[in-house]
């Protein structure tokens, strides 16, 4: 009986030692996180939390600059993005995740700003678009794709504003639309085509407004209607009715 009590007592002591060891090492781990040195610089492993205690991000700092892998979480604890810094404060390779865990976007961050080419994906993992950033501003050509990676649309940007050519394509790669932007507004020649490749609509924009003559065509290539605009105001319509032309004045 006494030997059983002694054995039970030893087992209890071992369990207590294990519990105290776990508490001790956990306390050391906590003490080793979120350190600021005498110069006020972040050093080592850091973990930032939401006010209610959930982890917001984990990562490491070297002289107040990010180094290695950072993970960011939403308010419910789901991983929303990762950034990997190859050297302290360097441009980071980034992955952004959808709520279901699929990759939503891949690109780079310079500080808190997007930089270089970014790629965006559907829930099934298909590439759906790409764009380019300089200093956090969209710059250059943005592209959109069909599920089979065929180009669907492209538009040019300058300092986060649409500037330059805009083209849209059908799934068989034929041109559907061609136009251009200037300072975020449609400006210049505008052309759209039917599914068979024939011209459907032709006109021009001026500072975002229809201006001048606009021509409408049938799938067979026959001109069916003409409209005349003056800075967005329609002033005249000419309609083909059989062999006759009917003019409607809007002023």
Q: Could you tell me if 78 and 55 lie in one domain?
A: yes
Checking if the pLDDT of 2 tops 50, the result is: no
The confidence score (pLDDT) of residue 31 equals 47
Question: In the chain, pLDDT over 70 holds for what percent of residues?
Answer: 87
Integer Cα distance of 205 and 184 in angstroms? 12
pLDDT band at residue 23 under the 50/70/90 scheme: very low
Residue 222 lies in a domain: no
User: What are the pLDDT digits (tens) for 41-69?
Assistant: 999 999 999 999 999 999 999 999 999 99
What is the end-to-end Cα distance of the chain in Å, rounded? 113
DSSP assignment string, 181-216 = EETTEE-EEEEEE-TTSSEEEEEEEETTEE-EEEEE
- pLDDT averaged over every residue in the chain: 89
Query: Residue 11: what pLDDT?
Result: 53
Which pLDDT score is estimated for 244?
84
pLDDT in tens, 87-124: 999 999 999 999 999 999 999 999 999 999 999 999 99
Residue 40 covered by a domain: yes
Radius of gyration of the chain (CA): 31
Residue 251 has pLDDT above 90, yes or no: no
pLDDT of 12 > 70? The answer is no
> How much is the average pLDDT of 170-183?
96
Q: How far is CA 243 from CA 88, 193, 224, 248, in A?
A: 75, 24, 11, 17
- pTM given for the model: 0.80
Rounded percentage of the chain residues whose pLDDT exceeds 90: 84
- Do 26 and 47 lie in one domain? The reply is no
Expressed as residue numbers, the domain containing 76 is 34-90
Number of compact structural domains in the chain? 2
Residue 114 lies in a domain: no
Do 24 and 41 belong together in one domain? no
Please check whether residue 234 lies inside any domain of the structure.
Answer: no
Same domain, 60 and 75: yes
Q: Are residues 14 and 51 in the same domain?
A: no
Give a yes or no: residue 149 inside a domain: no
Q: SS3 for 3? A: helix
Residue 52 lies in a domain: yes
Q: Are residues 21 and 41 in the same domain?
A: no
Are 6 and 49 in a shared domain?
A: no
Specify whether 69 is located in the same domain as 85.
yes
């Amino acid at each position: 009986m006494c030997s059983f009590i002694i054995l039970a007592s030893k087992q209890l002591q071992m369990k207590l030692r294990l519990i105290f060891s776990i508490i001790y090492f956990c306390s050391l781990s906590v003490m080793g996180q979120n350190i600021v040195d005498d110069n006020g610089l972040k050093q080592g492993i850091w973990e930032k939390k939401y006010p209610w205690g959930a982890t917001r991000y984990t990562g490491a700092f070297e002289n107040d600059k990010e180094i290695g892998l950072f993970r960011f979480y939403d308010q419910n604890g789901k991983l929303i993005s990762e950034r990997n810094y190859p050297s302290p404060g360097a441009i980071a390779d980034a992955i952004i995740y959808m709520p279901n865990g699929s990759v939503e976007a891949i690109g780079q961050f310079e500080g808190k700003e997007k930089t270089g080419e970014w790629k965006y994906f559907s829930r099934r993992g298909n590439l759906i678009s790409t764009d380019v950033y300089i200093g956090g501003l969209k710059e250059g050509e943005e592209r959109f794709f069909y599920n089979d990676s065929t180009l669907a649309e492209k538009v040019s940007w300058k300092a986060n504003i649409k500037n330059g050519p805009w083209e849209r394509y059908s799934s068989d790669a034929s041109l559907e639309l061609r136009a251009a932007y200037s300072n975020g507004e449609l400006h210049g020649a505008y052309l759209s085509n039917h599914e068979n490749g024939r011209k459907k609509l032709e006109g021009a924009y001026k500072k975002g407004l229809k201006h001048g003559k606009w021509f409408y065509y049938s799938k067979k290539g026959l001109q069916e209607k003409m409209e005349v605009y003056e800075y967005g105001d329609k002033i005249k319509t000419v309609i083909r009715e059989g062999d006759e032309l009917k003019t409607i004045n809007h002023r």
